[in-house]
């Protein structure tokens, strides 16, 4: 991994709410290297999406900022592609056309028609969606829609892939398949990824580092855990790996210690679950200021 690539530089944010100012984040500070896979984990409402949205340029920090490859970024750009929990595909377009739309925006005038077609197909293949590329979102499953969303994000050739609970709405088996696909893609492309997850197993399986956030208001980074498990990683082998289980226990400990603090979340902890299953996760009981606003 090379030197600093993405800097989250002492980011704080305050929202205006009917009850006054609400400080959601307080001096979140993190350096991310090129090709690194970083997960953000923390109890519901602590500010994970806010961090991701600030990196994406969808929200502005009140203090501090985001520096990508030495340049401050304040607005959305194709070098920071986002994959949301709900696919956000245009329903009247096919999978191919959804990816095409993004490719045209980024590569107009830079790639020929033929090159664009090859590039779209290449990315749909990477996400294992080439067999259904001419289907519309209503004709494919939830997991397939997420695959198209991933293909669309990858096709923008982003420096950073931002993923907000990309597999959160999927069943455990589909989720496991997509995690494996993401690891394969990551192995091939070496993308920088910042991913939000509520799933402890998913965080340990996929990440190079897990950033654990304290509860809000004024949430910040509590601890950072380095996941030094060799790659490629195999979920079944990891289930019996003592290092894997130690890391998993560390994340659960962090979350458990913060249980009941301010946002009153609950962490479901079920021992002896296979790696990548959705059993060890932080439930999403309720939102606070955003709902009150």
Ligand X SMILES: Nc1ncnc2c1ncn2[C@@H]1O[C@H](COP(=O)(O)OP(=O)(O)OP(=O)(O)O)[C@@H](O)[C@H]1O
Q: Which residues bind ligand X (CB under 6 A)?
A: 15, 17, 22, 24, 42, 44-50, 216, 284, 287-290, 293
- CA gap 27, 145 in Å, rounded: 35
Task: Output 10 or 23, the one with its CB closest to ligand X.
Answer: 23
Task: Output 39 or 44, the one with its CB closest to ligand X.
Answer: 44
Task: Output 44 or 98, the one with its CB closest to ligand X.
Answer: 44
For the CB of residue 147, give the shortest distance to ligand X in the complex, in Å: 22
19, two tokens = 């009850």
Task: Output 7 or 24, the one with its CB closest to ligand X.
Answer: 24
For the CB of residue 2, give the shortest distance to ligand X in the complex, in Å: 29
For the CB of residue 104, give the shortest distance to ligand X in the complex, in Å: 31
For the CB of residue 45, give the shortest distance to ligand X in the complex, in Å: 4
Task: Output 12 or 245, the one with its CB closest to ligand X.
Answer: 12
Contacts (Cβ under 8 Å, ≥6 apart) of 4: 31, 32, 33
- CA gap 175, 167 in Å, rounded: 6
Count of Cβ atoms closer than 10 Å to residue 277 Cβ: 19
For the CB of residue 65, give the shortest distance to ligand X in the complex, in Å: 17
Task: Output 80 or 233, the one with its CB closest to ligand X.
Answer: 80
Contacts (Cβ under 8 Å, ≥6 apart) of 131: none
For the CB of residue 14, give the shortest distance to ligand X in the complex, in Å: 9
Rg of the Cα atoms in the chain: 19
CB 98 within 8 A of CB 148: yes
For the CB of residue 79, give the shortest distance to ligand X in the complex, in Å: 22
Q: Which of 12, 30, 67 is nearest to 223 (CA)?
A: 30
For the CB of residue 197, give the shortest distance to ligand X in the complex, in Å: 9
Q: Give strand pairing partners of 284.
A: none
Task: Output 256 or 290, the one with its CB closest to ligand X.
Answer: 290
- CA gap 132, 140 in Å, rounded: 8
Closest residue to ligand X in the complex (CB): 290
69, two tokens = 């490859």
Long-range contacts (CB closer than 8 Å, 24 or more residues apart) made by 133-136 = 133/94, 133/95, 133/96, 134/94, 134/95, 134/96, 135/94, 135/95, 136/91, 136/92, 136/93, 136/94, 136/95
Task: Output 252 or 289, the one with its CB closest to ligand X.
Answer: 289
């Amino acid at each position: 991994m090379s030197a600093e690539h993405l800097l989250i530089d002492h980011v704080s944010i305050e929202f205006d709410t009917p009850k006054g100012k609400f400080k959601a984040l307080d001096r979140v500070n993190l350096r991310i290297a090129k090709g690194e896979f970083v997960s953000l984990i923390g109890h519901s409402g602590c500010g994970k999406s806010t961090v991701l949205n600030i990196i994406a340029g969808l929200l502005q920090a009140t203090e501090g900022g985001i520096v990508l490859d030495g340049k401050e970024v304040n607005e959305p750009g194709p070098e920071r592609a986002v994959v949301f929990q709900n696919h956000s595909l245009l329903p009247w377009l096919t999978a191919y056309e959804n990816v095409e739309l993004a490719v045209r925006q980024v590569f107009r005038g830079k790639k020929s028609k033929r090159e664009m077609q090859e590039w779209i197909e290449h990315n749909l293949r990477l996400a294992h969606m080439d067999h259904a590329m001419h289907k519309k979102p209503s004709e494919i499953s939830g997991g397939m829609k997420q695959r198209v969303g991933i293909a669309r994000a990858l096709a923008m050739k982003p420096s950073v892939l931002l993923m907000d609970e990309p597999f959160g709405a999927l069943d455990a088996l589909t989720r496991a398949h997509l995690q494996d696909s993401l690891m394969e893609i990551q192995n091939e492309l070496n993308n920088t990824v910042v991913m939000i997850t509520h799933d402890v197993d998913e965080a340990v399986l996929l990440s190079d580092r897990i950033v654990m956030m304290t509860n809000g208001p004024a949430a910040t980074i509590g601890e950072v855990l380095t996941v030094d498990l060799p790659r490629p990683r195999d979920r079944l082998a990891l289930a019996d790996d003592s290092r894997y289980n130690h890391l998993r226990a560390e994340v659960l400990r962090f979350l458990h210690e913060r249980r009941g603090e301010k946002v009153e979340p609950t962490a479901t902890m079920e021992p002896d679950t296979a790696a990548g299953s959705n059993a060890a996760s932080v439930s999403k009981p309720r939102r606070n200021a955003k709902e009150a606003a």
